[in-house]
Chains A and B, each alone.
Chain A
Amino acid sequence: MKLFTRAFWSVELAEVAMANITKKVSWSSRTDESGVASEGTPLLNGAEQPRHSRQLSGGGSIFQIGRLSTVDLEEEITTEEDSLRGRLKEIPHNEKLLSLKYESLDYDNIENQLFLEEERRMSFMSFRCLEISRWVICGLIGFLTGLIACFIDIVVEQLAGIKYQVIKENIVKFTEVGGLSISLILWAVLNSSFVMVGAIMVAFFEPIAAGSGIPQIKCYLNGVKIPRVVRLKTLLVKVCGVICSVVGGLAVGKEGPMIHSGAVVAAGVSQGRSTSLKRDFKIFEYFRRDTEKRDFVSAGAAAGVSAAFGAPVGGVLFSLEEGASFWNQMLTWRIFFASMISTFTLNFFLSIYHNKPGDLSNPGLINFGRFESESMEYNLYEIPLFIAMGAVGGLLGALFNVLNYWLTIFRIRYVHRPCLQVMEAMLVAAVTATVAFTMIYFSDDCQPLGPDHTEEYPLQLFCADGEYNSMATAFFNTPERSVRSLFHNQPGTYNPLTLGVFTLTYFFLACWTYGLSVSAGVFIPSLLIGAAWGRLCGILLASITSTGSTWADPGKYALIGAAAQLGGIVRMTLSLTVIMVEATGNVTYGLPIMLVLMTAKIVGDYFQEGLYDIHIKLQSVPFLHWDAPATSHWLTAREVMSSPVTCLNRIEKVGTIVDTLSNTSTNHNGFPVVVRVSDNDEPAKLCGLILRSQLIVLLKHKVFVELAQSRLTQRKLQLKDFRDAYPRFPPIQSIHVSQDERECMMDLTEFMNTTPYTVPQETSLPRVFKLFRALGLRHLVVVEDNRVVGLVTRKDLARYHQGRHGLEELQLAQT
């Protein structure tokens, strides 16, 4: 059968391909080389292939028919579609899916008549006021983000202090009288209970608050509306959750969640109201739309980074790197302002907390300490060593990501019930405590107590009096402190065995922890792993070179290792370099850190994507990367678009609109408005574009032609009415339309965007892609002679993906 169809196929091919020569070339080469043996090779529709073969046995395949019949093609497909709709295919979750629940942000301005009117009414002064209020909002964002960071920091420090004090006393007691296994159980139980609280909050109340939140914010900045990602509830759960998970001793940090928190603060403040609390402050009403909100969210993310790492410039660059499409220069300056305010606020309040008001030397949540001593200088001949370490970091990072990828797939498939997720998190917490305890228990590495007690909770255990267990400084501590002690402790504080064992265990613990349903970041664990093996490198170097002690300062190598590991895992480039440089407070480290991050990225990308990209993919988000897939020029808008398009008439019957909106199978959000829908399937002339949200507001206010005629005094709908409904437009089901009203007509002329972006059918995919990326489009109408033939949305573009074996196509799925 296969051969038979191919014969037909090539005949058709010869006929149709005349139109496009490049296509023809690629086709012929394909057909030649991949003959019969190509059954298993995943090509464009790799994922779909098995499905079709199954279809075949089930009787009648869409493709078989499509190939054979050139005459009755349309009919055949409709029947096929019906049969498919009858029994939806179900497949296990995998990375090659696009979820339907994600939608685009409306970044593009809706230039309808209302908008023009409003703009005409606004005076020069009110534009100035808008500009000033933008600055005020950015200041507020920075301030509140800094406060939140400060709150998290203080609470974590206090709670962790109490926890470690209790456990330490217990251990001291039982070291003497025996029964250390009880201390172990106490530790595990304390950890689990903290984590349980955090996990319950996340799993049952706000699952979107899980993880570091950076993937979600990345998606938001990319232009994807992630449901509930910038709600107040998410913020609360995130803040409490991160406190619980850090205090619960998981291998996590509190830096990633800060970025998410900053973004939520920004989205909240800029709207001047809280939908959750049902409070409207009647301010900043102008900013109630996706365009403005997204700009502020990028400021919030920057403020979050800046509070987390004390890196204002790094924050700005983070926003730039993640949201670099639709960006304007004035925005950069405002974002920088927000970042500065945020780090300054954190600094100021922490100085009060530390009883040194006015001492502004705590710029971030994580403080790498100062790298200024003489031994911290580096030399030209060390650069190759650094680059080698970068490569190691890339390898380890790729390994981390691969392991985490499989784990996450398993979690999505099997551990999806909230109670299971809570249990898993508790188990991880208990095991973390157990592993830490066992390591400490069996460690023979004893070090004398330093004069200036950098160890907050020194554990003696079986060491001689006056000495402490060196493994305990790494494990029996919050991860941030461990990082700092790895960077700054005297050479000789750790012996190589301790470091090696620590790296190994912590690597797996961190890998296991990321992706649990607790809110927690991956920055600190990565830094910690890297710092541990980096320090190990430093020690080994110093021991193999006789004069080593003079230049191979372990702290320096710990820093480089930390950068390499972090770069290998998250694969951020510019922003991460600047963040690291700013966090160390030493610009001269710029070059080595940059080289290390570059190497780590190159090496890591060879094996696996960055951790955040993996998680974005696994959540089936239609994410648009920087560029269209490289080999996609042969795809044109005709193949990409959805068709036929559900269009509305300029003056449309209410019943039709309600039915269109209520249709669950086609959950469209944008509708081209045409002059007149023709009865035969001839495409109609385009005259505008209207969004679902607009239609809903119109229906809610019953803006019907008949009513307007009968009630002359009816207030004219303004942009304000649309803004008031933003961002939670009611679902169509909640709007009641009576039978009489269904017969009314609605005039969309005033409300539709009269000049939507359009492309001809022959536009190539990369061109369409560029339009989407650069303009932040949501809908792009494909026209032929100004007649609507199709509609391109984000999901149509995002489904093409450069795989290992060429272009692959993702499938749409309900999640």
Chain B
Amino acid sequence: MSPHELSLFFVLLSINVYTFEGSIVVDLNLALANKQESVSSPGHSAVNSPVFKPVVDSLQSLNLLSSFPEDPAISEYCSELLHVFGQRYVTYVNCLVPAARPVKVCQNCYSSYGSLVAIYTNISSDQMSPGNVSCKRSLLRSDRLMLVYQMYSDLEDLWEKSDCSHCITDAYRSLTNDTMFFMTTLNQTLTCFEKYKQGNHTELCKSCKGTYKGLNDLYSRMEKEQTLCIDIEDAMNMTRILWSKGFNCSFPREETVPVIAVSSFMLFLPIIFYLSSFLHSEQKKRKLIHPKRAKSYATLMNIQDKQS
């Protein structure tokens, strides 16, 4: 089977993900049809079974395509995998979108990401399927588009960027203890904010300073240990903005006078220094030397002429 045909086949396969239960009815061109007969198999016919889906009606173009005659057992296994992959993918994406703001992508969706990773590992493993064909080859790298791979790597990038791995235990089982602790501390702080929100903010600044500071220190410690993930960073950012801008609890600039005093003293020193060295230091003089010059009067004349 030529590479071109193969790739076409896998395009079809991936389309099949969405139309798995039934299949698409397609016309095969002659050459392919011949081939199909020669390698027909029960599984294959199942894929090709003429069950219509309403979607397909609207996509007339799909009628041009058909599935290829292929080793059905293998593709069945692989398409099973593909199906599961699709489901988990949808679950994960569905989880991600609502967690976008405020960012909770790590704490909410780590389990669904875990299962997505599991199925992808399954697909991409070099382990042979029952039919002795690797799904890795057939699903991941048979065509230019490499859809499965591309979709997965997009999400993987997202995961990398969010640094979620820092907050999740190894096998995507749970959040790390640090993260839990941070969340608890954060909740304490936010409760405190809630409590004093009414009324005067100075009260709030004073009362919640302890917990806020604790939270801040915890954050800095985690920053140093590099156990931050986007959830924590975002939560901290929001809290900080609330604290500094919402409640105006930043440090005020109140020592202007001593700073000005000290700096003007410092700036005054060089003036004294230069004045005193100007007045007291002995000015450096240079002794002029008179070089021997030709005793002809031509020199003198030249110079004299220039002078006059």
A binding-site residues for B, Cβ under 8 Å:
6, 9, 12-13, 16, 23, 27, 30-31, 34, 38, 43-45, 49, 62-63, 66-67, 70, 73-74, 77, 81, 84-85, 88-93, 97, 100, 175-176, 178-181, 184-185, 188, 410, 412-417, 420, 423-424, 427-428, 430-431, 434-435, 437-438, 441, 461-467, 634-635, 638-639, 641-644, 666, 789-790, 795-796, 807, 809, 811-815
Residue of B nearest to A666 (CB): B292
Asked if B284 contacts A16 (CB within 8 A), the reply is no
A175 to B244, CA, bound (A): 15
User: Is the CB of B241 closer than 8 A to any CB of chain A?
Assistant: yes
- Among A12, A23, A27, A639, the most chain B Cβ lie within 10 Å of the Cβ of A639
Which 4 pairs, one residue from A and one from B, show the smallest C-beta to C-beta distance? A464-B244, A44-B306, A465-B240, A90-B285
Asked if B294 contacts A641 (CB within 8 A), the reply is yes
Asked if A463 contacts B250 (CB within 8 A), the reply is yes
Q: What chain A residues lie within 8 Å of B289 (beta carbons)? A: 88, 100, 811-814
Asked if A12 contacts B284 (CB within 8 A), the reply is no
A100 to B286, CA, bound (A): 11
Residue of B nearest to A62 (CB): B300
A813 to B236, CA, bound (A): 71
Asked if B297 contacts A66 (CB within 8 A), the reply is yes
Asked if B307 contacts A49 (CB within 8 A), the reply is yes
Q: What chain B residues lie within 8 Å of A16 (beta carbons)? A: 297-298, 301
Residue of B nearest to A634 (CB): B302
Q: What chain A residues lie within 8 Å of B299 (beta carbons)? A: 638-639
User: Is the CB of B255 closer than 8 A to any CB of chain A?
Assistant: yes
Closest CB-CB distance, A374 to chain B, in whole Å? Answer: 21
A414 to B304, CA, bound (A): 34
Asked if B307 contacts A73 (CB within 8 A), the reply is no
A414-B281 contact given A91-B286, A181-B262, CB 8 Å threshold: yes
A45-B286 contact given A434-B267, A441-B259, CB 8 Å threshold: no
Asked if B308 contacts A184 (CB within 8 A), the reply is no
Q: B residues 218-247 with Cβ under 8 Å of A?
A: 236-237, 240-241, 243-245
Closest CB-CB distance, A358 to chain B, in whole Å? Answer: 25
Q: What chain A residues lie within 8 Å of B250 (beta carbons)? A: 462-465
Asked if A427 contacts B269 (CB within 8 A), the reply is yes
Closest CB-CB distance, B243 to chain A, in whole Å? Answer: 6
A465-B216 contact given A90-B287, A814-B286, CB 8 Å threshold: yes
Closest CB-CB distance, A729 to chain B, in whole Å? Answer: 23
User: Is the CB of B290 closer than 8 A to any CB of chain A?
Assistant: yes
Interface locus among B30-38, B102-110, B270-278: B270-278
Closest CB-CB distance, B185 to chain A, in whole Å? Answer: 15
Can you offer 5 A-B residue contacts whose CB atoms are under 8 A?
Answer: A178-B254, A466-B237, A812-B289, A812-B290, A812-B291
Q: What chain B residues lie within 8 Å of A185 (beta carbons)? A: 262
B binding-site residues for A, Cβ under 8 Å:
216, 236-237, 240-241, 243-245, 250-255, 258-263, 266-267, 269-270, 273-274, 277-278, 281, 283-308
Residue of B nearest to A77 (CB): B295
A643 to B263, CA, bound (A): 60
A97-B255 contact given A45-B307, A188-B266, A427-B269, CB 8 Å threshold: no
Q: What chain B residues lie within 8 Å of A34 (beta carbons)? A: 308
Q: What chain A residues lie within 8 Å of B263 (beta carbons)? A: 184, 434-435, 437-438
Asked if B303 contacts A44 (CB within 8 A), the reply is yes
Classify the interface of chain B: helix, strand, loop or mixed: helix
Q: What chain A residues lie within 8 Å of B270 (beta carbons)? A: 424, 427-428, 431
Question: Which listed residue, A43, A420, A434, A466, touches B266 by the CB 8 Å rule?
Answer: A434
Asked if A180 contacts B255 (CB within 8 A), the reply is yes
Question: Which listed residue, A415, A427, A431, touches B281 by the CB 8 Å rule?
Answer: A415
Question: Which listed residue, B241, B255, B267, touches A181 by the CB 8 Å rule?
Answer: B255
A463 to B252, CA, bound (A): 9
Closest CB-CB distance, B249 to chain A, in whole Å? Answer: 9
Closest CB-CB distance, B164 to chain A, in whole Å? Answer: 15
Asked if B252 contacts A462 (CB within 8 A), the reply is yes
Question: Which listed residue, A84, A178, A181, A464, touches B245 by the CB 8 Å rule?
Answer: A464
Closest CB-CB distance, A9 to chain B, in whole Å? Answer: 6
Q: What chain B residues lie within 8 Å of A412 (beta carbons)? A: 284
Asked if A431 contacts B301 (CB within 8 A), the reply is no
Asked if B244 contacts A9 (CB within 8 A), the reply is no
Q: What chain B residues lie within 8 Å of A73 (beta carbons)? A: 295, 297
A430-B269 contact given A179-B255, A639-B298, A642-B293, CB 8 Å threshold: yes
A23 to B301, CA, bound (A): 11
Q: Other than the known A414-B278, A638-B296, A643-B295, what 16 A-B pairs have Cβ atoms closer than 8 Å?
A: A45-B307, A81-B290, A88-B287, A89-B288, A90-B286, A90-B288, A178-B254, A413-B283, A420-B277, A424-B273, A428-B270, A431-B269, A441-B259, A461-B251, A465-B240, A639-B299
Q: What chain A residues lie within 8 Å of B294 (beta carbons)? A: 638-639, 641, 643, 789-790
Q: What chain B residues lie within 8 Å of A639 (beta carbons)? A: 293-294, 298-299, 302
Question: Which listed residue, B216, B273, B303, touches A423 by the CB 8 Å rule?
Answer: B273
Residue of A nearest to B277 (CB): A414
Asked if B288 contacts A811 (CB within 8 A), the reply is yes
A496 to B298, CA, bound (A): 64
Residue of B nearest to A638 (CB): B294
Closest CB-CB distance, B135 to chain A, in whole Å? Answer: 37
A416 to B280, CA, bound (A): 12
A91 to B288, CA, bound (A): 7
Residue of A nearest to B297 (CB): A73
Asked if A31 contacts B292 (CB within 8 A), the reply is no
A415 to B253, CA, bound (A): 40
Asked if A6 contacts B266 (CB within 8 A), the reply is no
A30-B292 contact given A97-B286, A416-B284, A462-B253, CB 8 Å threshold: no
Asked if B267 contacts A415 (CB within 8 A), the reply is no
Asked if B292 contacts A643 (CB within 8 A), the reply is yes
Q: What chain B residues lie within 8 Å of A100 (beta carbons)? A: 289
A6-B253 contact given A181-B259, A420-B277, A813-B287, CB 8 Å threshold: no
Asked if A175 contacts B251 (CB within 8 A), the reply is yes
A91-B253 contact given A188-B266, A423-B273, CB 8 Å threshold: no
A428 to B273, CA, bound (A): 11
A184 to B273, CA, bound (A): 21
Closest CB-CB distance, A99 to chain B, in whole Å? Answer: 8
Asked if B251 contacts A176 (CB within 8 A), the reply is yes
Q: What chain A residues lie within 8 Å of B287 (beta carbons)? A: 88-90, 813-814
- Among A70, A91, A413, the most chain B Cβ lie within 10 Å of the Cβ of A413
Asked if A181 contacts B258 (CB within 8 A), the reply is yes
